[in-house]
Structure 1
Amino acid sequence: MSDNKVVLGSEEWCSFPELGIPAIKARVDSGAKTSALHAINIAPFVKNDSNWVKFDINPIQNNVRTIIHCEAPLIDKRIVKSSSGYREQRYVIQTILKLGDQNWEIEMTLTNRDSMGFRMLLGREAMIGRVVVDPEKQYLLDSPTEEDLTEVYKGAVKEKSGLHIGLLASNPELYSNKRIMEAGEMRGHEMHFLNIKECYIKLDAKKPEIHYRGGKILNQFDAIIPRIRPSATFYGCALTRQFEALKVFCLNSSSAITQSRDKLYSLQLLLNHGVDIPTTGFANSPLDTDDLITMVGGPPLIVKLLEGTQGKGVVLAETKKAAESVINAFKSINANILVQEFIKEANGKDIRCFVVDGKVVAAIQREALPGEFRANIHLGGTASVVKVTQDEKRIAIKAAKAMNLKVAGVDIIRSSKGPLLLEVNSSPGLEGIEGATNKDIAGKMIRAIEKHFKL
């Protein structure tokens, strides 16, 4: 002790008696103002005429089978900027923190911390007047052993009893992929990460197979969740088709993913289903450049490479001369492009609707940082919760249905003509939208698979 203050290292074990959390590892960070606790399945409710919030927590890092169900009085909702730059609306609770033989009441925000190294962040507001930090030291208080953790959490381990689900993707460390694996494990399913590059196919009329590096035959799966990056579309969709041939349920079909990656075809398909888009032109010859510019309303306008991904290959042409130069430059290298009207009134904002199984389960508004260029698409910036209109929901649902996607990120822009659809993504990321909305979208994807099997 120093002046009756608790001396802590940069990392410590603590507990929350009122929440039923007997041991959790915390990052002690005086640079952070507010404390934060890992939480998923966050839901407010009313108890005895007071506002409460319930949530689940996996208190041990990299262990999704151990789960604690918590509830606490809700004292506030705040907009917090996360370490990844997103603005999140977080619920705030007040509860007792126990450190060593000391305990006191602190405020904490609830947020998904799966991408962080610690389930708990202890900020300076909780430490003022009570704590001295020695950043060179770690675990100055009691540290539980593996046996201790097994004993205190033995009643919180969820047994596996469900489906065999494979996540077909490229990077197991990506936030979205980790969350989907976690969500499946939490619901009792056997989850396997299948690296696209390590899968290969046996084409055979009588006995088609998919092998995994080392010769293992992948024949045990009930369902596959394809999350295929654009650069792996051809091979990833070939693998998905092979799983479909083996009668394995795929959350997004190979044909749906393939057509979603063809920007021109997907826009034609959406228009045929009555979904409005910004006025868009497509031509083969540079001789048609002048009329192409005129048909989309003239400059400023957007030029998009059909093969571009994640905002790359997108140019804002502010004058007719600039538009002609960009279009002709792309045409000179035989690149296929779209020319699209620029929606000035959107003011650098778009809306991402996340659709799962025919429902908009979450939505965020994405806004460019000051000085950042946005050409009718999302290029970065901040995300915040937004209330979408019925028209916007209708467009998002109709677009996902038109593309035959069970899971889709549908990007919409607000214009003077009403909401317009920009793009449909068959492998939308979860980090920004889960962080901003505190919704368990990964869990909703797993439930869509369960619904197919009527579980």
Structure 2
Amino acid sequence: MIDKIVVGSEEWVKLPKINIPAIKVRVDSGAKTSALHAVNIEPFVKDGEHWVRYDVYPLQSNGKTVVHCESPIADKRVIKSSTGTKEHRYVIKSSLHIGEDEIWEIELTLTNRDSMGYRMLLGREAMMGRILVDPESSFLLGDLDDDELKSVYKNKEVERKGLKIGLLASNPDLYSNKRIMEAGERLGHEMYFLNIAQCYMKLDAKTPEVHYRGGRILNDLDAVIPRIRPSMTFYGCALTRQFEALNIFSLNSSNAITQSRDKLYSLQLLLNNGVHIPTTGFANSPLDTTDLIKMVGGSPLIVKLLEGTQGKGVVLAETKKAAESVINAFKSLKANILVQEFIKEASGKDLRLFVIDGKVVAAIQREALPGEFRANIHLGGTASIAKVTAEEKKIAVKAAKAMGLKVAGVDIIRSSKGPLLLEVNSSPGLEGIETATEKDIASMMIKAIEKNVKWTTDS
């Protein structure tokens, strides 16, 4: 025991075999395997052996310092993360240099740890027989300041000309908007908050333009992120369409947003793509109220104004009499209404799956507060990390694809008939899902733009 190294809960180490001179690790005896943050992971064959090349951004919140690595593949395993998600990972071997002169070989799994607080996790397999952990302490073997890190990583920076990205929204103080702006700036981009109401357009065959308050022309943007509040859907989509006409990439297209905001059309589109929804009736101030109620399985049921947004114009009718009263009340408005079966067994719970670029990146379960109900919308309550099934992920991805959305919040409810899709949101909020899952969703959205827009890099 005397010969063992005493370390804190976080330390700086070196990985000489793959040319990483310093990386901060989370020392975690609760984790079996060690993991290294890696992106652009690509297997290849070298001299008849299986290798993997990958890029490591070793410093948290630094998108410029990168180490290009290649290693023989030691193994490929299914690893279960702390959130319960299973992932196939490549395993490599590297020397671990810790402290003054202690060095030994360890195994590392390669995975994207962008959403985690540390670029490397040191698990117990790498520590056995060599390390004792003092969880109350940090950097017992020495800390590194910014100047020291700059020195050890000299010549490992890439000069990247950041993208010009406009966030089209209404409230700069909203959590989601602030997070997206911060993430873009942290990743080296020029971010502009553009109030939709203060943008205006020049429609011209030769010189189409988008102007902003004060006369600034926005034609030089590389990409836009539309986060359009429901009341601004028409103008916001027209504005997004104008940017698209200027060959400026939009994270969600104007057509996709328009489709997702049309409640009836979106449901029809989902059904046409094989996505199951709660049984729904649609009518224009129906005369035959009794048959409409019967059509969706009777009471209790949900009645919605087609034009309602964010919970407005949504009523739970618990009895046939109550349903008739609500529908008749809407008749006087000569309004289009949706009548939908109420899923009792869900007990006020639903799932929100966050989809980016065709992949579910996070999921939470939302539960209504006592006395509330969830009628195909999120009305508040609590949120917690959720373990979702392969079928639920498949539904979410299929729904986002059917809408044409690169970024979507997909709401699913669990019923006795299986998972049913409630709604697809083209401007999903980040606060609940980032808080519950501790994932950096905002950065994932920015990186989805990087995949689709040329980003000049000189290394």
**TM superposition score category, shorter chain reference:** 0.5 to 0.7
CA gap of 1:423–1:201, structure 2 versus 1, over 3 A, is same
Name 1:281's counterpart in structure 2: 281
CA distance in 2, matches of 1:232, 1:8: 55
Tell me how far 1:43 sits from its aligned partner. Answer: 4.8
Tell me how far 1:129 sits from its aligned partner. Answer: 4.1
Name 2:25's counterpart in structure 1: 26
Name 1:65's counterpart in structure 2: 64
Say whether the 8 Å CA contact 1:409–1:425 is kept in structure 2: yes
TM-score, normalised with respect to structure 2: 0.66
Name 1:200's counterpart in structure 2: 198
Name 2:97's counterpart in structure 1: 98
CA distance in 1, matches of 2:117, 2:362: 28
Q: Which string of whole-angstrom CA distances, capped at 9 and with x for unpartnered residues, describes residues 37-78 of structure 1? A: 333334556777877654432111211122223345334212
Say whether the 8 Å CA contact 1:88–1:383 is kept in structure 2: no
Q: Kindly indicate whether residue 194 of structure 2 is the aligned counterpart of residue 159 of structure 1.
A: no
Equivalent residue letter for 1:192: E
Say whether the 8 Å CA contact 1:302–1:339 is kept in structure 2: yes
Name 1:221's counterpart in structure 2: 221
Say whether the 8 Å CA contact 2:285–2:337 is kept in structure 1: no
CA distance in 2, matches of 1:125, 1:172: 41
Tell me how far 1:221 sits from its aligned partner. Answer: 1.1
SS of equivalent residue, structure 1 residue 41? strand
Name 1:13's counterpart in structure 2: 12
1:73-112 correspondence to structure 2 within 5 Å: 73-82=74-83, 87-89=85-87, 91=89, 93=91, 94-101=93-100, 102-112=102-112
CA distance in 2, matches of 1:410, 1:444: 18
Q: Which moved more, 1:259-268 or 1:203-212?
A: 203-212
CA gap of 1:248–1:376, structure 2 versus 1, over 3 A, is closer
1:15-414 correspondence to structure 2 within 5 Å: 15-30=14-29, 35-43=34-42, 54-70=53-69, 71=71, 72-82=73-83, 87-89=85-87, 91=89, 93=91, 94-101=93-100, 102-124=102-124, 126-161=126-161, 164-168=164-168, 171=176, 174=179, 191-197=189-195, 200-201=198-199, 210-211=211-212, 218-228=218-228, 237=237, 240=240, 243=243, 248-268=248-268, 278-283=278-283, 289-298=289-298, 307=308, 309=310, 338-341=338-341, 354=355, 356=357, 361-362=358-359, 381-383=385-387, 386=390, 397=401, 399-401=402-404, 405=405
Q: Which string of whole-angstrom CA distances, capped at 9 and with x for unpartnered residues, describes residues 163-216 of structure 1? A: 544344653564x7777777xx5xxxx72323345983356789965447x997
Name 2:452's counterpart in structure 1: 448
Tell me how far 1:161 sits from its aligned partner. Answer: 4.7
- Count matched residues: 427
SS of equivalent residue, structure 2 residue 189? strand
CA distance in 1, matches of 2:317, 2:398: 32
CA distance in 2, matches of 1:33, 1:332: 65
Q: Which string of whole-angstrom CA distances, capped at 9 and with x for unpartnered residues, describes residues 311-334 of structure 1? A: 999888787578668878999999
Equivalent residue letter for 1:200: Q
Q: Which string of whole-angstrom CA distances, capped at 9 and with x for unpartnered residues, describes residues 353-405 of structure 1? A: 9575xxxx4358968599999877898652457389999987764x235xxx5
Percent identical among aligned pairs is: 55
Q: Which moved more, 1:58-67 or 1:235-244?
A: 235-244
Say whether the 8 Å CA contact 2:317–2:323 is kept in structure 1: yes
CA distance in 2, matches of 1:166, 1:111: 30
Which 5+ residue runs of structure 1 have no aligned equivalent? none
Tell me how far 1:141 sits from its aligned partner. Answer: 2.1
Say whether the 8 Å CA contact 1:301–1:342 is kept in structure 2: yes
Equivalent residue letter for 2:293: I
CA gap of 1:29–1:224, structure 2 versus 1, over 3 A, is same
Cα root mean square deviation, aligned: 5.5
CA distance in 2, matches of 1:375, 1:256: 23
CA gap of 1:152–1:285, structure 2 versus 1, over 3 A, is same
TM-score, normalised with respect to structure 1: 0.67
Which 5+ residue runs of structure 2 have no aligned equivalent? none
